[in-house]
Amino acid sequence: MTALAGRVSREARNGLLLVSPTLTYALLLLAAPLALVVLLSFWTQDFLEIHRDLTFENYRVAWTEPIYRALMLRSLKISALVTVFTVILAFPIAYFISFHVPTKRKPLWLFLITIPFWTSYLIRIFLWKVILGFNGVVNGSLVGLGLIDEPLSFILYNQNAVVLTLSHAWVPFAILPIYVALERIDRSLLEAAEDLGDGPVRRFLRVTLPLAMPGVLAAALIVFIPTIGDYVTPRLVGGPNGLMIANMIELQFKKANNAPLGAALAISAMVIVSAISIVFLWLNRRYLAGRGG
């Protein structure tokens, strides 16, 4: 018994020792800086001088001033739309790779899906501007085909353009977790459903989709959380009504010289996004439990 306990604790010690450099790095450069940002959000700044008296003033401004509230709500709306859109776009592709591609070809297909992701991030967003613009690819082809007389103006410099561009950027990240979940489904369960008389639609809704839910959920969170922090896409294709909270955070930290307010906005955004994610996870757990799975 003691020998066993000694070995287990030695194993634990080795494991902790081995992970400690990475953990220390993350503690020093992620946890400590985040803690400092939280602290900063309770300070105030006029021009270049920072006052270190703790106050809720920044949060009062961040949560009550109409401009910040509007930006926050709009960012949440855009992130939510991007998430839904991306997951819907991604699911059939993940399904296709998992169920219709021969095993040997699967890595090649996954590679094909990730290639466009390695185009320069900035240039890729800029190209969407070219595609959606007044003289762009979409308008050019539609006018050329005689489908419209005047170029469409509602496709660039607004929230639709932001949603489309962000969905394009995140869709490979959504395909991968859904694909992994679909791969884990025991194929004999599908046969069983069929043998018991379920048609393809019922089988999909009662077996495939519930079993793929963990992947769908992971995909949704992987897309939803980081999108809230993007400020390049809104700036390039969003126009004045497509700006998001991250543009304001950047403005406060850089040109407006009000880092504490920027910090309060950043922390608020993170708290809201995390809260939504937790509620989402909880609802999913209840949904799966309710199904008896």
Partner 1 sequence: MRTVGKLTWLHVYLVVFLVFLYAPAVLLPVFAFNSSRVVAFPLSGFTFDWFRLLLDTEPLFDATRNSLIIAVITAVFATILGTFAARASTRYRFPWKKGVMGFVMLPLVLPEIIVGVSLLVVILQLGLNLSLWSIILGHVLICTPFCIAILSASFQGLDRSYEEASHDLGRSHFATFMLITLPLVAPGIIASLLVSFTISLDEFIIAFFLSGTDATLPVYIWGLVRFPQRLPSLMALGTILLVVSLCLLVAAEYVRRLGARRTGTEASGGFL
235 to 264, contacts with partner 1 by CB under 8 A? 236, 246, 249-250, 253, 259, 262-263
Q: Identify the CA nearest to 90 among candidates 240, 218, 204.
A: 218
Q: Which of residues 53-112 bind partner 1 (CB under 8 A)?
A: 89, 92-93, 95-96, 100, 106-107, 110-112
User: Among 7, 29, 256, 281, which residue interacts with partner 1 (rule: CB under 8 A)?
Assistant: 29
Residue-wise DSSP of 181-220:
HHHHS-HHHHHHHHHTT--HHHHIIIIIHHHHHHHHHHHH
116 binds partner 1 (CB under 8 A): yes
Stretch that binds partner 1, among 25-33, 59-67, 152-160, 188-196 (CB under 8 A): 25-33
C-alpha distance from residue 115 to each of 104, 110, 279, 281 (Å): 19, 9, 34, 31
31 binds partner 1 (CB under 8 A): yes
Residues in the chain: 293
Binding mask 169-188 for partner 1 (x = CB under 8 A): --x-x--x------------
3-state secondary structure (DSSP) of residue 50: strand
Tell me the closest approach of the beta carbon of residue 114 to partner 1, in angstroms.
6
Question: Do the Cβ atoms of 272 and 74 come closer than 8 Å?
Answer: no
6 binds partner 1 (CB under 8 A): no
* Residues 6 or more apart whose Cβ sits within 8 Å of residue 149: 143
Positive/negative CA dihedral, 79, 82, 87, 90: negative
User: Among 68, 157, 170, 231, which residue interacts with partner 1 (rule: CB under 8 A)?
Assistant: 231
Token look-up 């699911």 returns: 91
In the complex with partner 1, the residue whose CB is nearer, 63 or 117, is 117
3-state secondary structure (DSSP) of residue 228: coil
In the complex with partner 1, the residue whose CB is nearer, 123 or 292, is 123
Binding mask 196-225 for partner 1 (x = CB under 8 A): ----x--------------------xx--x
In the complex with partner 1, the residue whose CB is nearer, 30 or 291, is 30
Tell me the closest approach of the beta carbon of residue 102 to partner 1, in angstroms.
13
